[in-house]
Chains A and B, each alone.
Chain A
Amino acid sequence: MSLYKLSVNDRDIICESGETVLDACLRENIDIPYGCRQGACQSCMVRSLQGPPPLAAQDGLKEVLRHQNHFLACLCYPQQDMAISISPPAEFFTEATVIEKTLLNAETLQLTLQCKDTMDYYAGQFVNLKRADGLSRSYSIANNRLHANKLSFHIRRLAGGRFSEWAHQELNVGDKLEVSDPQGLCYYLPTSQENNLLLIGTGSALAPLAGIVSEALHHGHKGAIHLFHGSREMDGLYWLEEMQDLASQYPNFHYTPCISRGDAPDGVAKGRANDVAMTLLPSLKGWRLYLCGHPDMVRQTKRQAFLHGAALQDIHADAFHVASATLD
């Protein structure tokens, strides 16, 4: 006698005793992707909308996915009625007002918004910013969770970038924007506080990484925290003093700015941020990684980190895909 009701998208179905969520959906002809039925391929990952799913159904998933109640339908034997989502949830937008615009360097704008509603996000996540005509772009949140109503973003001006050019030149303090629900899995959770953290990013990818560093320090993270921020030349870097101050304040936080071209002044490493990091930190066994920036850099660094001993499930990445050419 253990029949449970499953609410899947707009339908209610019954999951019979000894049946997995996947089997019940397939029996009811609900279109759900799947592969191995053994929890290996993770094709049938879905999300519980009413609290955590059975623990066994989250076997092998990344911590952040577990945290967001994702689970594998093929491993899930319900223990109560469940509501699940197969497709990604619809996006909700909230209204926000521009309260500050500051240039961080020649091409990067720090934009701060005051949101109408309190936002529930994690440092390192991103949102979609939408202007009145519907044009929208994804930007990472640059602050930590403490400022739930205020969000700041680092917006790099891209050649021909419709949104970024507009934000740099035409958007003014007092103007309104729409802000989507926070998204993405590249964020900090205050678990495994002894683990060392390695954060690598280029250009405006400092935004989510600085947010994560701030969040980790706020939670009193005990392991070492290494941040490598790279750019081609010195004028592409920013927040050097802020990060150096933070490093002198917290002995476990280490900051290395890197430039890949020209002469590096004192305190700045010469080379690409990922290569500098891998040279300085040859063994990444047990480390948690956060990689943000250009998709090629992210992909290459992921591989380097894995070959240096990091477990794949400890590597969190957010590749910045852009709609137009970068200034580089």
Chain B
Amino acid sequence: MSETTATLYEQLGGEAAVNAAVDIFYRKVLSDHRINRFFDNTDMDKQAAKQKSFLTMAFGGPNNYSGADMRQAHAHLVKKLGLDDSHFDAVVEDLAATLQELNVPQELINQVAAIAESTRNDVLDR
């Protein structure tokens, strides 16, 4: 409580920012022909909740992120649908575009991208 610098999550606007970003981000992901096939059979409500958890984590907010969960959640996509670096890059790109649309300063976008980047090996199961 004595910290004077706001966390990245707070600087971005906390939960309100996550709420604003999740719709834009998820629309981008579902419209992105490079990656939308990974979402062909998903339940949209559940997936949107996952996107919200993902953004909370990427914004450096409170989360229960565990590398093991991330691995488990994506393992079948790696094995069966060939999820690879190019798809991961596309998601990071869509995330950056979402934040640009919300007029987030580039420096904060870079921080968000770095947090997302830290999950790459877990997501791609290596």
Contact = CB atoms under 8 A, between A and B. Distances in A.
Interface of A: 35-42, 60, 299, 302-303, 306-307, 311-312
Contacts of A312: 23, 44-45, 48
Contacts of B111: none
Contact of B49 (A37, A42, A299): A42
Nearest to B41: A299
Contacts of A35: 53, 64
A36 B49 CA distance: 10
Interface string B19-39: 100010011001100000000
Nearest to A59: B15
Interface residues of B, number: 20
Nearest to B43: A299
A117 B63 CA distance: 48
Contacts of A311: 23
A36 B61 CA distance: 11
Contacts of B61: 38
Given A306-B30, A307-B31, A311-B23, A38 B56 contact: yes
A40 B56 contact: yes
Nearest to A37: B64
A38 B48 CA distance: 15
B52 A306 contact: no
Q: What are the 6 A-B residue pairs with the smallest beta carbon separation, nearest first? A: A40-B52, A41-B49, A40-B53, A312-B48, A36-B53, A302-B44
Given A38-B63, A40-B56, A311-B23, A303 B44 contact: yes
B79 interface: no
A36 B56 contact: yes
B73 to A, nearest CB: 12
